[in-house]
Amino acid sequence: PDEVVDLVGRFALSNSPRDVLRLRCVCSGVRNKCGSVRELAEARRLRWRVSDDWRWRVSNHGRTITVVGRSADVELWATGGLLPRTGASTWAVRVDHSRSNDGNGLWVGVCDTAARCSWGLFLLSGRMRCASQDADGRLDFGAAPPDGYPSGTYKRVLQSGCLARAGAAGAVVEVTLDHDAGSLSFRVNGGGGPPGGPPPAAPAASQ
């Protein structure tokens, strides 16, 4: 019955929006009956939330961000919507282009709800860094994280320079934030990285 297929789809959605998309690939009948659940899954996709700024362009229904200009003293910092406070959240960011194709200046991770402190994987060094920004957007790599949050700075995640050798273009960085376990972990191109770090609340990326 259609109601059963819809319930299965909603159960899959509670686990992961990607599970709904996989379920729809079973057959055309299931695909047609999961239309409403697919809309709910699409609504949960990561979308960049940035203010109007001449330095970047957002496209692809909010899922692609492109740097088109830079300021000498301010690093660009983009965030997504708030994540659930419980359970595990996983998302992936694909690098379409970076300067020198080595990932230098790029990091992907999470930030606090105020978007003032972030924990991310620096793609060139392969290490996690804790970085803060002030109200003017200037970065401070020496500032302490908020009370109750570990730093995790310089924790080794990937072999140094691995993206420089393979090329950053096309690399897929997958981030998993597990609130229940209090861990933050990364995978690049399907490989693994050790967990570590705090449980902040929003996806973040910067260049």
For the purposes of burial, counting CB atoms within 10 Å of the CB of 175, is it exposed (0-12), middle (13-18) or buried (19 or more)? buried
What is the residue whose two structure tokens read 């109750």?
A: 148
pLDDT: which is higher, 130 or 206: 130
| pTM for the structure as a whole | 0.71
pLDDT in tens, 98-143: 877 777 778 899 988 888 899 988 888 888 888 888 877 788 888 8
The predicted-structure confidence for 159-198, as pLDDT tens digits, reads as follows: 655 565 667 888 888 898 888 888 888 888 876 544 444 4
Q: How many CA atoms does the CB half-sphere of 27 hold within 13 Å? A: 3
Separation in Å, CA 38 to CA 56, 82, 114, 203: 30, 21, 31, 22
